[in-house]
Amino acid sequence: MKPEIYSITYRIPLTDAQQARLNRKWPDGDPFISYEKIDSLLEPLPVEDVYWSHHTGQFLYFTVRGADVEAIVVEVIARLEEKLGRV
């Protein structure tokens, strides 16, 4: 038997400006950038479990599945930087 990597969870540090964008809320209290928006931004990439919270520090977490994990991570970071701003 030979084990293979199936998924890897990554943690990206967020700048103050990026965290502030994620923390913005509509007047009704809903987040301006929701998990659904981030999920749709990352489609059709094999990424799941996207998570951020002020309880976890200034980090965004996500899990990547697939054979070419490094290329997927590069694409995820590029899309997130486009939406949240560059580091």
Residue 18 within a domain: yes
CATH number, domain of 17, equals 3.30.1370
Residue 64: give the domain boundaries: 7-84
Q: How many domains does the chain have?
A: 1
Considering the domain boundaries, does residue 14 fall inside one? yes
Q: How far apart are CA 42 and CA 84, in angstroms?
A: 13
Question: What's the confidence (pLDDT) of residue 3?
Answer: 85
37 within a domain of the structure (yes/no)? yes
* 2 is a domain residue: no
Assigned domain for 1 exists: no
The string of pLDDT tens digits covering residues 28-79 is 999 999 999 999 999 999 999 999 876 778 999 999 998 888 999 999 999 9
Is residue 70 included in any domain, yes or no? yes
What are the helix (H) ranges across 16-68? 16-23, 35-42
Provide the pLDDT confidence category of residue 86 given band limits of 50, 70 and 90. confident
Give the residue with greater pLDDT, 66 vs 10: 10
Type of residue found at 79: R
Question: What's the predicted TM-score (pTM) here?
Answer: 0.84
